[in-house]
Structure 1
Amino acid sequence: MASTLKTQYKDIKDISLVDFLGVEAEQTVVAHDIWKDKATVVIVIRRPGCQFCREEAKIFDGHRSTIEQSMGMKMVCIVHEKEGSDVFQKEFWHGKVYHDPTKAFYKALGGGHLRVGGWGQLISPSFWVNLVRNKKSGVKGNFEGDGSILGGLYIVHAGDQGIAYEHIEKVWGDIASAPKVLEACSRVSGVAVNEASLAKAAEEHENLHERMANSSVGQAKRAAATQDAVDATPSTAPAQLPPL
């Protein structure tokens, strides 16, 4: 499994994070201290107000009892900006959130460089599938903050045993598969995943992703309309990306 990973453990283990929610005073935490005792699911989100990020948080929060109680693991979220984090934690995540001021986790997901979604995201059929899926989920967001930086998800072994699983977001809304994450957690923890939980996650995943918005013709029309808008944008003007 390790041979398929793009991120090296050394790139994330010493990252300095800030514990800032629900504490009397902000505290600096070194990443490897988070998982020193328990294997941990680390969700690196793009923006606390992003509807896709909130959707992903809500999905995995729904599996919290399986991952944290049954499997004895931890789950945390990483943000690169604090704005809206309190609402995100209270309404969608219900767990620990850490601030990554230097965006080091985001750079690790990009092999040392920040990966930023541009206008090309809007003409990707996958983006439209994700958007339709999100609309049907009923999870809403806002337009506060920078949502252009792409995120992902890690599962890290306890101690310094390294990364067990990674999901790298390629397109806005490309959230990690709950069944795959549960299966990876099962391998890491040694605890068999409850078949009912896995079946439920698989069903939810299938329902969420079987959204090929109407037809390939419909997708082509949307992509063409978006491309027209991109072509009409002056090349000298800075791209104003939607803060998804």
Structure 2
Amino acid sequence: MSIAQKTKTSYADIRDISLVDFLDVETERTLLAHELWKDQATIVIVIRRPGCQFCREEAQIFDAQRETIENDMGIKMVCIVHEREGADEFQKEFWHGKVYHDQAKDFYKALGNGRLRTGGWGQLIHPSFWGNLIRNKRSGVKGNFIGDGSILGGVLLVQQGDQGLAYEHIEKVWGDIARADRVLEAASRVSGVAINKEKVLKAQKDHRALHDKMQASSLAAGKGKAQDQGGSEGSACALPEQVEAQQQQQQQQGV
């Protein structure tokens, strides 16, 4: 039975998106998105850039839930990228699952109601960005400067067949990753499989602990914000490293 939710993303906009299966295959093949969830519900993680430290962190978080989501609940998990460079490393080291290429960026457009949503230097005025940066630093997940990380992504839980969307998370600020506890709860509703409450409670507790640490930080209070120095929005995911270096330099200079 369908439990489709009211979402900003339209199912009609994602159903026939053309994707390319290009990793760990002898021959690349093109498929339509609805083939992914034809036989089983699917979590679709739409990432900004394979080398982005935030995207790698999110992949690692959900990869850790793979046994519960895929084996216990029978829900598939896939990642979508809009560029291939770095995808092989991303898959092997952080994701360990299927990755598909959305060359036309149609999933990204669907998350923006038909338009690409991008983030530039203006993202740095958001306190939540600094909180996300702190969280990422504590995770130990590192990234690189390769590719375009300006296009914002998100997470969708699509029900089997054409029953529609059951959950969505739309990234608004760099590093605004989906909460694992909420995705697990949505997956439980879709699959009908009771979730391990201890896992949900732990995810909630971890999230609250990170939130408290973020709020206590000087970065979260807005200190050390950088101004545009002519950097490229195309290197958006690399900006946290640049900003942190600028902040340290300012502190050394007594700014």
TM-score with structure 2 length normalisation? 0.87
Give how far 1:216 is off: 6.1
Residue of structure 2 in register with 1:41 after alignment: 43
1:18-167 equivalence runs, <5 A: 18-167=20-169
Corresponding pairs, count: 234
Give how far 1:198 is off: 1.4
Cα distance between partner residues in 2 of 1:210 and 1:20: 41
Question: What RMSD over aligned residues (CA atoms) do the two structures have, in Å?
Answer: 1.7
1:219-230 equivalence runs, <5 A: 219-223=221-225, 226=226, 229-230=227-228
Give the letter aligned to residue 240 of structure 1: S
2:55 and 2:175 in contact (8 A); partners too: yes
Q: What is the aligned counterpart of 1:202 among 195, 201, 204? A: 204
Give how far 1:25 is off: 1.0
Gaps of at least 5 residues in structure 2 are 238-255
1:186 and 1:193 in contact (8 A); partners too: yes
Give how far 1:196 is off: 2.1
Give the letter aligned to residue 181 of structure 1: V
Residue of structure 1 in register with 2:176 after alignment: 174
Give the letter aligned to residue 208 of structure 1: L
Give how far 1:213 is off: 5.3
Residue of structure 2 in register with 1:17 after alignment: 19
Cα distance between partner residues in 2 of 1:217 and 1:130: 10
Render the CA deviation track for 1:191-231: whole Å, top value 9, x for unaligned: 111112212322332333333254468633223xx2xx23x
2:51 and 2:90 in contact (8 A); partners too: yes
Cα distance between partner residues in 1 of 2:129 and 2:165: 28
Residue range with higher mean Cα deviation, 71-80 or 194-203: 194-203
Secondary structure of 1:221's aligned partner: coil
Secondary structure of 2:84's aligned partner: coil
Residue of structure 1 in register with 2:232 after alignment: 240
Secondary structure of 1:211's aligned partner: helix
Cα gap change, 1:16 to 1:217, in 2 (>3 Å): closer
1:164 and 1:188 in contact (8 A); partners too: yes
Secondary structure of 1:155's aligned partner: strand
Cα gap change, 1:218 to 1:17, in 2 (>3 Å): closer
Cα gap change, 1:172 to 1:218, in 2 (>3 Å): closer
Gaps of at least 5 residues in structure 1 are none
Give the letter aligned to residue 39 of structure 2: D
Secondary structure of 1:212's aligned partner: helix
Amino-acid identity (%): 66
Residue of structure 1 in register with 2:248 after alignment: none
Secondary structure of 2:178's aligned partner: coil
